[in-house]
Amino acid sequence: MRVTIRDVAREAGVSISTVSRVLNDTCFVEEAKRRRVKDAAERLSYSAHPAARSLLKQETGGVGVIVPSVSGEYFSEFLTGIDHFTQESGFYMLISSSHRSTAEFETALNTMYRRVDGLIIMAPDQGGFDATHRVLRSMPVVYVNRPFESSLSDSIGFNNFEGFYNITSHLVDMGHRRIAMITGPATAIDAQERLRGYRQALRDGGIEPESSLEVVGNFTRQSGYQAVSTILGSRKRPTAIAAANDLSAMGAISALHEAGVRIPDQMAITGFDDDPSARYSTPPLSTVRVRPREMGRLAIQYLVGRIRKVADAEGRKIELPFEIVLRASSLGSRREGASRTS
Partner DNA sequence: TACCTTTCTGAAAAGCTTTTCAGGAGTCTT
Partner DNA sequence: AAGACTCCTGAAAAGCTTTTCAGAAAGGTA
Sites of contact with DNA (CB under 7 A): 2, 4-6, 14-18, 20-21, 23-24, 26-30, 33, 46-49, 52-53, 55-58
Choose from its own copies, DNA, none: what does 95 bind? Cβ within 5-8 Å by kind.
its own copies
Which of 98, 187, 266, 339 is close enough to bind its own copies by CB under 8 A? 98
CA–CA distance, 77 with 273 (Å, rounded to integer): 11
Residue 237 partner contact from its own copies, DNA, none using kind-dependent CB cut-offs of 5 to 8 Å: none
If the CB atoms of residues 59 and 323 are measured against DNA, the closer one turns out to be: 59
31 versus 314: smaller Cβ distance to DNA: 31
Q: Could you say which of 276, 312, 335, 338 contacts its own copies (CB under 8 A)?
A: 276
Task: Provide, rounded to whole angstroms, the least separation between the CB of residue 18 and DNA.
Answer: 4
Residue 21 binds which of DNA, its own copies, none (CB < 5-8 A, kind-dependent): DNA
Residue 113 binds its own copies (CB under 8 A): yes
State the DSSP code for 96: E
Closer residue to its own copies, CB minimum distance, 279 or 308: 279
Among 6, 35, 43, 115, binds its own copies (CB under 8 A): 115
Backbone phi and psi for residue 175, each to the nearest 5 degrees, phi listed first? 100, 0
How many residues belong to the site for its own copies (CB under 8 A)? Answer: 52
Kind plus residue range of the DSSP H or E element containing 168: helix 160-173
Binder of residue 27, out of its own copies, DNA, none (CB less than 5 to 8 A by kind): DNA
Report 16-55 residues binding its own copies (CB under 8 A). 45, 47, 49-52, 54-55
Quick check: helix, strand or coil at residue 31? helix
- Measured CA to CA in angstroms, residue 306 lies from 138, 303, 339 at distances of 13, 5, 35
CA 127 to chain centre: 17
Exposure string for 274-292, b = 16+ CB within 10 A, e = fewer: bbeebeebebbbbbbbbbb
d(CA 285, CA 241): 12
Closest to its own copies by CB, 126 vs 281, is 281
When CB distances are held under 5 to 8 angstroms depending on the partner's kind, the choice from DNA, its own copies, none that residue 18 binds is: DNA
| Phi and psi, residue 132, nearest 5° | -110, 15
H helix runs in the chain, sequence order: 5-12, 16-24, 31-44, 50-57, 73-88, 102-112, 134-138, 160-173, 189-204, 221-232, 246-258, 292-307
List the beta bridge partners of residue 121. 66, 143
Look up residue 182 and give its amino acid: I
Q: Could you tell me where the beta strands, DSSP code E, fall in 7-81?
A: 62-67
Interface with its own copies (CB under 8 A), residue from 237, 257, 262, 335: 257
| 332 binds its own copies, rule: CB under 8 A | no
How is residue 27 annotated by DSSP? Answer: S
Would you say 200 or 277 has its CB closer to its own copies?
277
Given candidates 34, 38, 89, 95, which one binds its own copies under the rule CB under 8 A? Answer: 95
Q: How far apart are CA 237 and CA 9, in angstroms?
A: 80
From 4, 20, 97, 192, residue interacting with its own copies (rule: CB under 8 A): 97
Q: Positive or negative CA dihedral for 163, 165, 171, 175?
A: negative
- Footprint on this chain of its own copies (rule: CB under 8 A): 45, 47, 49-52, 54-55, 60, 62, 69-73, 75-77, 79-80, 83-84, 87, 92-98, 104, 110-111, 113-115, 134, 221, 225, 250-251, 253-254, 257, 276-277, 279-284
